[in-house]
Structure 1
Amino acid sequence: MKTNTGKFQLPLQTFSLMAGFMVWTILAPLMPYITQDIAVPESQKAIILAIPVILGSILRIPIGYYTNLVGSRIVFLTSFIILLFPVFYLSQAQSTTGLIVAGFFIGLGGAIFSVGVTSIPKYYPKEKHGFANGVYGMGNLGTAVSAFLAPPIAGFIGWQHTVQLYLLVLVLFAALMFIFGDKQEPKVKIPMMQQTKLVINNYKLYYFSLWYFITFGAFVAFGLFLPNFLVGHFEIDKVDAGIRTGIFIAIATLLRPIGGMLGDKFNALNVLKLFFISIIAGALILSLSQHILLFTIGCLTISVSAGIGNGLVFKLVPTHFNKEVGVVNGIVSMMGGLGGFFPPLVITLVTSMFGSNHLAFLLLAIFGVIALLTMMHMSKIEKRA
């Protein structure tokens, strides 16, 4: 169905997601510079970095629903226009309160993830959903773009002017979506409550949410806490820390379509089990690491596993849900976003209580084991069906 339109909409929506994620994660790479001008207590840094994740997670449900209702063009366009206001406000912030307020509303940049995963599958046959959603998920590279570019630019022109450059990005993509967005996109007009009732008792919704809570949560959480953590814990240069974080993000993002393609070719659930074993291994390495080399190996292991895992989960969602995919995408992706909210806070709390972050990474391994058990449970049910 409308494959030619899909071939154009896929890159347009992917780059639009990239712009949204650039904005959504702008605070993390700039925090070492912001704290030179604004006195941010150490205990509040994790909160400020995690704040954008709240709105970026919660809004994914209504945004997924409204994408089905009015189409991706209107939702992307409206989101980019709204984002102009908190981004400008952030560039003027002079206190921790200003950073928190701006960060909260900037969360909308992360919520637009639900647009493409709801819209893009409409243009492709079922056997291509994993690939299409995987390519769209590469828009997560926006996080890496900010991690790579924001620190060196801030070193030249200051963090405030760096933030203002993002206004130009938003205006550009609002214009592109206004001109080239698909005005004829198929709409699904099932009331949200009706869609929710259709899926609320389906155990797969909760399993998919847990798996994405871990895979995408790890992606977001590491992207948020690594810049500040590497500077403070390993005394790495601010730009170097941004580059290392960008590499983590880039690997996870570029491997996402590989996860989708693996899900198209093989049994997605079985492949996902393998990469969750890898996540558990990476978390155990981090829980034992005292040296930057071992820490890097653990981070890269999780980066590869989480990236492929993200692609696999969003191969499973449209495979097991059809007309309710907007609401399900919203719920699952919301849980993924929330998965990125809690870890930085947990790491900060655990470190302050025990003087070490190792227990926090052990908790990630435990969550991975729980997820693995749920996958085995689903496999048993699927075999009986």
Structure 2
Amino acid sequence: MIKKVQLTLQTLNLVVGFMVWVIISSLMPFISEDITIPPERLAILTAIPVVLGSILRIPLGYYANVFGARVIFLVSFILLLFPVFYISEASTVTDLIIGGLFLGIGGAVFSVGVTSLPKYYPKEKHGLVNGIYGVGNIGTAITTFSAPLVATQIGWSATVKLYLILLLIFAALNFFFGDRHEVKVKTPIFEQIKGVYKNEKLWIFSLFYFITFGSFVAFTIYLPNFLVTNFGLEKVDAGMRTAGFIAVATFLRPVGGWLADKLQPLILLMGAFFVYTVAAIILAFSPSITLYTVGSLAIAVGAGIGNGVIFKLVPFYFNKQAGIVNGIVSMMGGLGGFFPPLLLSAIYSITGQYSIGFMLLSQVALASLVLVVWMYFQDRLVLSSEVFNSTGQGILVTDVNGKIKKVNPAFTKLTGFDEQDVIGQNPSMMKSERQSKNFYQDMWKDIQEHGMWQGEIWNKRKSGEEYLQWLNISAVKDDTGENIRYVGTFTDITSEIEKKGGFERVPAN
């Protein structure tokens, strides 16, 4: 029973964590009426909760493996009581900065669920499961939409205090319904980091999540105030539009995870970054509210699909180090939400517009698209290499002149010849004297006319021992139909013939 409720419980935990995480940015139009906030401090104030929310994702992802999700969520919600109460009593910008920094715990809990939940499901469902958990991002939309409505009735300070009740309720739910028997992994954190930090895919996925989740967070904290100041919208209207952005990105996250379970994940990422590139260019031209809405929603689509796909890829490539890798990747996503508002604010103060910032986003998205294409073809090359090196058949590849260019480990095992013994040599170095000259002439005639030959042939090992092969030779052609190389695959069938009672030669096909 307890295990069955973990997906629901942990997803709701994330909802609550993210609701708390964006309290300040959602209520900023109300807070600024009571506390004087200089324009240069505004971007820092709205982005500051992201800092701790990003950095803490590494230890929380690690300790979720050590102590289990139940303990980490419970402790996190108890700790959040203090900054939430402190903010509700804030009277200066310094108070908001201090309280906002520790609100980051609410955003850091993200790495707990993506580390814990895959333990309960088979690999082919990890994309969907992490996608469903990611729906917890809707917590930012709930606060962005509801907090301004409540604040208009009871004031922003009392609105913040309501979150204390919510945190206490979920601390209790985790105490009673959290899984006390979750599988624990206790590999030391530095040993786990040492095992993954040199892997290029870790940093590529971090960049991808920096863009996809970072843009989600950045738009979440940047849109409410931007829509009010730039387009003159009412505060509640701006909150509702921001909530719509969050809702689209959030509900497309499980869709992205589900699609990644069914289709090629890297192809989906290509599509996401293509959408990013086009949408950011639209936003860069400072369009009307209609086009701005289209561009923002396109960013939400790319963010939602991209986030779901990335957390399908992480456990696929880093199964044994999922906790620490989830922490690092999700930390980079959080930092991706910290820097864009500061950058946009700085660009606006210098140029009076945001165009350069959005053009920068489009270029980074385009570079990411190129990286995904590279990864896709790199994976195909790796797959081909793995097949080549792991197959039990001996394989040799020659150029059109018959010079050996490549052999696999099975070739060495079957023949005794190392790669350095045969590269640049002709396969005739291994032939026995059992076949006549006409045999080889007929063989090459078949290859030239039909593109292949297969049959039994006697060859010699490095030791000089003769053995019987079943050999396949195929011609590889270019686009014009010209032969450019030959591939030979063979197996040792000597023992099979011995079992049949002799070595009667079977005519070659």
TM interval, shorter chain, is over 0.9
Match of 1:13 among 10, 14, 18: 10
Aligned residue in 1 for 2:151: 154
**In the alignment, what sits opposite 2:175?**
178
- Partner of 2:162 in structure 1? 165
Partner of residue 286, structure 1: 283
Kindly provide the CA deviation profile for residues 97-150 of structure 1, in whole angstroms up to 9, marking residues without a partner as x: 000000000111000000000000000000000000000000000000001100
The aligned counterpart of 2:271 is 274
Distance 1:219 1:238 in 2: 20
Query: How far apart are 1:381 and its partner, in Å?
Result: 1.8
Corresponding letter in the other structure for 1:184: H
Question: Contact between 2:2 and 2:178, CA under 8 Å: does it hold in 1?
Answer: no
Deviation for aligned residue 1:289: 2.9
Q: What corresponds to 1:85 in structure 2?
A: 82
Compared with structure 1, are the counterparts of its residues 146 and 216 closer, same or farther at alpha carbon in structure 2 (3 Å cutoff)?
A: same
Aligned residue among 219, 226, 229 for 1:229: 226
**Which of 313, 322, 343 does residue 319 from structure 2 map onto?**
322
Bigger RCO (CA 8 Å, 6+ sep): 1
Q: C-alpha distance in 2, partners of 1:372/1:305?
A: 12
Match in the other structure for 2:64 = 67
**Contact conserved, 2:128 with 2:255, CA < 8 A, in 1?**
yes
Of 350, 356, 372, the residue aligned with 1:359 is: 356
Q: Deviations over 1:208-243 (max 9, x none)?
A: 000000000010000000000001110100000000
* Gap runs ≥5 in structure 2: 383-509
2:438 corresponds to: none
Match of residue 196, structure 1, among 166, 174, 193: 193
Q: 1:230 to 1:82 in 2, by over 3 A?
A: same
Distance, in Å, in 2 between the alignment partners of 1:82 and 1:373 is 42
| 3-state SS, counterpart of residue 379 of structure 2 | helix
Q: After superposition, what is the alpha-carbon deviation per residue over 1:255-306, rounded to whole angstroms, capped at 9, x for unaligned?
A: 1000000100001011111111001111111001331111111000001111
Q: Which amino acid aligns with 1:209?
A: S
Contact conserved, 1:131 with 1:258, CA < 8 A, in 2?
Answer: yes
1:252 is displaced (CA, Å) by 0.3
Q: CA separation in 1, counterparts of 2:247 and 2:232? A: 23
Partner of 1:253: 250
Quote how far apart the aligned CAs of 1:88 are: 0.1
CA distance in 2, matches of 1:259, 1:79: 28
Letter in 2 for 1:98: D
Residue 342 in structure 1 maps to residue 339 in structure 2: yes
Work out which of the residue numbers 31, 36, 43 in structure 2 matches 1:34.
31
Match of 1:108 in 2: 105
One-letter amino acid of the counterpart of residue 349, structure 1: A
Opposite residue 46 of structure 2, the aligned amino acid is L
Aligned amino acid, residue 128 of structure 1 = K
Q: Which consecutive residues of structure 1, in runs of 5 or more, have no partner in the other structure? A: none
Q: 1:306 aligns with which of 303, 306, 309?
A: 303
Paired residue type of 1:115: V
Alignment partner, residue 401 of structure 2: none
In structure 2, distance between residues paired with 1:365 and 1:307: 17
Indicate the structure (1 or 2) with the bigger Cα radius of gyration: 2
Q: Aligned partners of 2:195 and 2:249: how far apart in 1?
A: 33
Deviation at 1:378, TM superposition (A): 1.3
State the distance in 2 between where 1:190 and 1:325 align.
12
* Cα distance in 2, alignment partners of residues 47 and 290 from structure 1: 26
Instruction: Give the number of the structure whose residues are more often helix, by fraction.
Output: 1
Partner Cα distance (1:164, 1:354) in 2: 39
Q: CA RMSD in A?
A: 0.8
Q: TM-score, structure 2 length as denominator?
A: 0.74
Q: Aligned partners of 1:348 and 1:15: how far apart in 2?
A: 33
Q: Does structure 1 retain, via aligned residues, the 8 Å contact 2:3–2:179?
A: no
Structure 2 counterpart of 1:375, one-letter code: V
Q: CA deviation at 1:189?
A: 1.0
The equivalent position to 2:139 in structure 1, one of 139, 142, 151, is 142
Taking only the aligned residue pairs, the percentage that are identical comes to 56
Contact 1:188 1:323 in 2 (8 A): no
Runs of 4+ in structure 1 over 3 Å off: 4-7
Contact 2:2–2:177 at 8 Å: present in 1 too? no
The alignment of Structure 1 onto Structure 2 pairs a total of residues equal to 382
